[in-house]
A and B are shown apart, each in its own frame.
Chain A
Amino acid sequence: MKKPTRRSALALAAVAALALTGCGSSDPLGGQDTASGSPSATGGTGGSGDALVIGSQQYYSNEIIAELYAQALEAEGYTVERDYQIGQREVYLPEVESGAIDVMPEYGGNLLQYYDAEATATSPEDIQAALAEVLPQGLRPLEPAEATDQDSYNVTRAFAEKHSLTSLADLKNVDEPLKVAANSEFETRPYGPAGLKEAYGVDVTVVPVEDSGGPLTVKALVDGDVQLADIYSADPSIAAEDLVTLEDPENLILPQNVTPIASEAVDEEAAAIIEKVNAKLTPEALIGLNRESVEKEASSEDIAQAWLAGQGLS
């Protein structure tokens, strides 16, 4: 009697371990393995016929925006090729410059800093004007959306109320040491600890959590392991966890309006279609789109289709 019970218990544990293997591999690694292969993949598709090649960053929200443009263009009879999930700027921008990618959803402030580290523009309008100047020959920024997706300093509602915080300037009055959970590169960014000290006179130390403001960062904040967390402003978890985003009156963090860049293959008509999508892309709309992905795990294709239909754009 004893033996079979023990054996079946162990077998059950083995099955459970196998099941765990399954879910473990699908989730956190899913987004990453496309990065390594993509540079060569995109290299091959350059200048393919009449199709417009639309790229996206290796970031789920960026892919949703790319898919919005792709489906809006297809609805007007354009042929579109999708080249999504391409690493970081250092990888995809050379592809855009070479003409292998025709449309790329970008973020104004960071894009400007990529091409001009000395840029001084801080308002969305100035950034847009500066972008038109610094983009390489053959590329142009299209009309940006109102929606932004930028780094933001967040605190829990309880912490904000305890110290009556609404803006980064109020952090001066907090009399306990401040730790901020963020990716490790946050340490070196202009809006990181050094920038915060310069603009607001506030000292913080960085606790590196490498999931780009994802669930681990949010958990660190909610658990009280850190007092502040760097989370992208379009992340639905800010509302879901009732976090307070601190205002930035000194414009420490550049506005990151969703700004598509387009090659010469994108004619005026196609540009107008993309800009029409952008005109409807408010900050709330972008958070809503992201929520569909994060909470309902819908595909970018389905999310884009439903939203465009709702806006009368498909």
Chain B
Amino acid sequence: MNDKADENDRPGFHCPVPLDRYPGVLLAHGGGGTLMHRLIEEVFVSAFSNLGLEARHDGARLDVGSVRLAFTTDSYVVKPLFFPGGDIGSLAVNGTVNDLAMCGARPLYLSAGFILEEGLPMETLQRIVGSMRRAAEAADVRLVTGDTKVVDRGKCDGMFINTAGIGIVEHALDIRPASVRPGDAVILSGDIGRHGMAVMAVREGLAFESTIESDCAALAGPVLALVQAGIEIHCLRDPTRGGLASALVEIAEAAACGVHLDEDAIPVRADVQAACEILGFDPLYVASEGRFVAFVAAGDAERALALLRAHPLGRDACRIGSVTSGGPGPVVMKCRLGGSRIVDMLSGEQLPRIC
């Protein structure tokens, strides 16, 4: 009976997700892995595809008259609210700025929606808002509209923030997975995994010899440096949830290409690697919040590297691999010891190992 009523409420909408397998949403549906991609494609894309949703990119590109805009949104539910190297406020600004930057856009305006938990200390809120203001100034964006809701104690972890952003695209490049070509160079702007391990260490009360700081930063600067120098950029992606591995697999699949990686070339700081070893994590799947991968035409690779290395946020930039034909996928990594292996998306989030 209820089913019928539901169908009437949603004419023409058929959910292809096998509900018998997942009658409810699991945390893994938000983990950046296979389950989340299925959820996006099978629920959201199938419902909204007529609105021009481009599911496999960080933001939408919209033509308004003769102006090309980029538009994106993201919600931030990080626990704890404060972590070494940042907090939920700086993350909410930088994350959305970066989604715009990954469209090759110059970020201009942000909105912020706050969901606050009853009892949240006012001092905490002010610290976070202050941090957002500083992050917005550093990224040269303006926060122009917002919304506030308060929910009962226990209904959220202190606070959640949603930000949306608008940027302007000032070039003729078509930056998206479908532009990726065999032969393209895959360039990474710096070491991976710092944000994920910084948050993990605080959340789980793990003390290491040194504090791992999140790499949380706005990436529009180095991206625009590449754009302005005329680098032939084919695709950009910041390896947040799901890490570098998921970002590359996503792009390879959407581009119907393969990717060859060189394990030796992927920079991971010793403290991040150590924390990963202890927990049994693979840094390839750990989030960064201030790094990006660029797929650029092979002929521009050296120039792109030089430009990035001249920027404070790209000092450790390096070429980590190349795009191959015969896709979609796989992403194959040449191991340090000589063999090779597939790099795949995880099902959900990484979980600490047993022993």
The judgment on whether A and B are partners is no
Residues of B in contact with A (beta carbons under 8 Å apart): none
Residues on A lying within 8 angstroms of B by beta carbon are none
